[in-house]
Amino acid sequence: MLSNLKRYFPKSFDTYYEPFLGGGAVFFHLMHNRPRFNAVLSDVNRELVETYCVVKNQVEELIETLMNHESEYKRDPRRYYYSVRTESGGSDPVGRAAHLIFLNKTCYNGLYRVNKKGQFNVPFGRFKNPKICDQRNLRTISKVLVWSNAKLLSLDYQIAIRGSGRGDFIYFDPPYHPTSSTANFTNYTGSGFSIEEQEQLGLLFRELDERGCQIVLSNSDTHKVRDIYEGYDIQTVEVLRAISCRSNKRKGHTELIISNLDSHVFS
């Protein structure tokens, strides 16, 4: 999506907000391409935000713990995967961060999904040689997080953007509105993201627009999403889906970029 999204990125902004952080693709892109800026990064998934904090502050301990996972995994991948999956991450933040990264690197399709009790329930992924401990990448991300001094918060998006105002830039990448009853991969936190929440986010988008914020949002291409953002610039883009249960469904699919900014040809 980045090549399409970046056409909407404003030339300048005060603070950058990414309240549905996930893997933070847009934040890392901006950090790579812009002078240093203030950023508020947040996600309702507490384990995810804690993992970013550990990457930022305790990267060497994290690497050591992940190396241990890597060597255990190599002995008997499937057995070790399920033994880690049934454990919790433990009481130590480094152990919990390593637990989350290990499962993400070795589970089916790198999917994050939990059941109603909040237990991770993705099956084993058949990878030949997964890079469980990518030391170089972890150290680079750690440096970027330290250098940027970005605020990392575990909050609902509505609370996380409360301090935003005129001149700030907000990128919303919510769990997508499902395109069919079987395409609902929105259960990141166990609570899902309902139609009412999509509507609520739409109302907030309008309020932030009136406040003078510069906003870009991505979502699935459905009638409902088009209705919610009626009146704004809505661009249809072709994308490859990163997550689908069938690989043939990962291509030839359209999504929407919605913004109150004009698109342009530079980023």
Give min distance, CB of 123 to ligand SAM, in A: 20
Give min distance, CB of 26 to ligand SAM, in A: 6
Give min distance, CB of 216 to ligand SAM, in A: 11
**Measured between alpha carbons, how far is 222 from 225 in angstroms, rounded to an integer?**
5
**Torsion, Cα of 172, 36, 31, 159 (10° steps):** -20
Of these, 106, 142, 148, 189, which contacts ligand SAM (CB under 6 A)?
Answer: 189
**Residue 18: is it exposed, middle or buried by C-beta count within 10 angstroms (0-12/13-18/19+)?**
buried
> Residue 188, interface with ligand SAM (CB under 6 A)?
yes
Asked whether 98 and 65 are in contact (CB, 8 A), the reply is: yes
Cβ-based nearer residue to ligand SAM, 132 or 217: 217
Give min distance, CB of 190 to ligand SAM, in A: 10
Give min distance, CB of 252 to ligand SAM, in A: 20
- Residues numbered 119 to 178 that lie near ligand SAM (CB under 6 A) are 156-157, 173-175
**Tokens, residue 251:** 């291509």
Give min distance, CB of 171 to ligand SAM, in A: 8
Asked whether 152 and 78 are in contact (CB, 8 A), the reply is: no
**CA nearest 110: which of 134, 76, 145?**
134
Cβ-based nearer residue to ligand SAM, 25 or 237: 25
What single-letter amino acid sits at 154?
S
Q: How many CA atoms lie within 13 A of 94 on its CB side?
A: 13
Contact map string, positions 14 to 53, toward ligand SAM, x by CB under 6 A: -----xx-xxxx-----------------xxx--------
Asked whether 115 and 121 are in contact (CB, 8 A), the reply is: yes
Of all residues in this chain, which one has the CB nearest to ligand SAM in the complex? 22
**Measured between alpha carbons, how far is 208 from 46 in angstroms, rounded to an integer?**
25
**Tokens, residue 8:** 């909407």
**Helix (H, G, I), strand (E, B), or coil: what is residue 81?**
helix
> Residue 220, interface with ligand SAM (CB under 6 A)?
no
Give min distance, CB of 78 to ligand SAM, in A: 27
Cβ-based nearer residue to ligand SAM, 146 or 159: 159
Asked whether 199 and 246 are in contact (CB, 8 A), the reply is: no
- Residues numbered 54 to 83 that lie near ligand SAM (CB under 6 A) are none
Cβ-based nearer residue to ligand SAM, 45 or 142: 45
* Contacts (Cβ under 8 Å, ≥6 apart) of 207: none
Give the binding-site size for ligand SAM (rule: CB under 6 A).
Answer: 17
* Residues of this chain that bind ligand SAM (CB under 6 A): 19-20, 22-25, 43-45, 156-157, 173-175, 188-189, 193
